[in-house]
Amino acid sequence: MAREYLKKATLTSKSDASDVHDTVVKILADIEAGGDEAALKYAAKFDRYEGNVLLTPAEIEAACALVPDKLKADIQFAHDNVKRFAEMQKSTVADVEYEVVPGLTAGQKAIPVDAAGCYAPGGRYSHVASAIMTVTTAKVAGCKHITACSPPRPGVGIAPAIVYAAHICGADKIMAMGGVQGVAAMTFGLFGLPKANILVGPGNQFVAEAKRILFGRVGIDMIAGPTDSLVLADHTADPHIVATDLVSQAEHGYNSPVWLVTDDRELAQDVMARIPALIEDLPDVNRENATAAWRDYAEVIVCANREEMAATSDEYAPEHLTVQADDLTWWLDRLTCYGSLFLGEETTVSYGDKAAGTNHVLPTSGAAHYTGGLSVHKYMKIVTWQQATREGSKPVAEATARISRLEGMEGHARAADVRLAKYFPDETFDLTANG
């Protein structure tokens, strides 16, 4: 493709990935061996917090009382939207059965996992929306126990709005513990919690590495890197809105890539000219993050036409994909690799991040090539079952015996043989592999 880079990233989301593996392995091993005491030791070291690990009902009530009514209403609005969307998702998976051959019925059941561990970051920003996204979907899925976990502030505890969100969304326990120690506590079932069957929610590189290491003994939503966003824009796009949307996502962190892909050079140049002032106008921490992200990780790409734009987007497989271009139906039908898609100027990634109803826990670093984001389905096991009459078992047993012998698996073959011998003693069957 004849792509032209008006701005090329000097770094990628993997460029500065520090080797945290050994550190996380040690912390996990220490906590698994030392239990509650070891987890508390790391909490004192990293969280610098020595209050209750599991919030009492009185502490939850007190935290909720600190949340202004207007914010409570906004959190409730977001929760209701996420809940309704999750319920719609759940309705797409049904328990079904089907008669595969006469007399042999096979089926599918969707069974929620028992215990979910939901992590809501609380360091640089208080991720109220992460509590909404993770706890609500677990609740709709039907998990029997949900632990919400968030890093406490030294001497203060979990941000009251996170406590309120986790509480109204259905968390059974709220744990004031961050980082690897919080993930470990949920996985190993410390402090009287049930062992989590699945861990979900975003976090820093230590949380992400802990989830990666623990995957297998516990399920996870995905292995996540820095958040990334791509905007597809043509001559119909508003350059001020495009620039604002790019900056809004760059503020996530110093290593959060944002990309603009367009077939309009004039638009691209206009957007690039607007971004420095938009970044400069942000609060201090946000400005520092956006400045670094735009300087080191952002790209602006000019393509020949919309097909080339779409192909470029699919190659990048962004976590968030915005289309501000003509003929939105064409883009919806054409694009294939993204975590969540935002069609038209009238919506934005920020809506999805906070309150629109779709989930904001999404695949990063190109993972959208092979997976979608967190949904109610992540908490559900799609299992199968079968039942047969003796007549229904007959042709399946014959085929099973012969295939098994061809493979050299005589024990498997004999499990079919004995049924044929018992159910049809007067018949003779050719159960050899050859013939």
Distance CA 249, CA 327 (A): 25
- The Cα-based distances of 331 to 117, 308, 322, 351 in angstroms read 36, 12, 10, 20
Which of 140, 372, 139 is closest to 148 using CA atoms?
139
User: 76 among the known binding-site residues?
Assistant: no
Element of type H or E holding 295: helix 284-296
Residue recorded with tokens 């969280």: 47
Distance CA 106, CA 97 (A): 6
Question: Which position among 145, 167, 320, 360 bears the catalytic label?
Answer: 320
Element of type H or E holding 138: helix 128-141
User: 353 among the known binding-site residues?
Assistant: yes
User: 252 among the known binding-site residues?
Assistant: yes
Q: What is the dihedral of CA 247, 249, 253, 254, to 10 degrees?
A: -40
DSSP 8-state code for residue 43: I
- Active site includes 307? no
- Active site includes 320? yes
Question: Which position among 97, 319, 360, 398 bears the catalytic label?
Answer: 319
Whether residue 118 contacts residue 149, with contact meaning beta carbons closer than 8 Å, is answered with yes
User: 249 among the known binding-site residues?
Assistant: yes
Q: Is the dihedral of CA 275, 276, 282, 286 positive or negative?
A: positive
Edge-to-edge strand list for the sheet holding 4-7: 4-7, 299-302, 258-262, 229-233, 320-324, 340-343
Distance CA 158, CA 101 (A): 57
Distance CA 162, CA 151 (A): 10
- The Cα-based distances of 358 to 95, 134, 317, 355, 375 in angstroms read 24, 11, 18, 8, 8
Task: Give the burial class of 281: count Cβ atoms within 10 A of its Cβ; 0-12 exposed, 13-18 middle, 19 or more buried.
Answer: exposed
Count of residues making up the chain: 435
Give binding residues for NAD(+) as ranges: 119, 181, 204
Residues involved in catalysis? 319-320
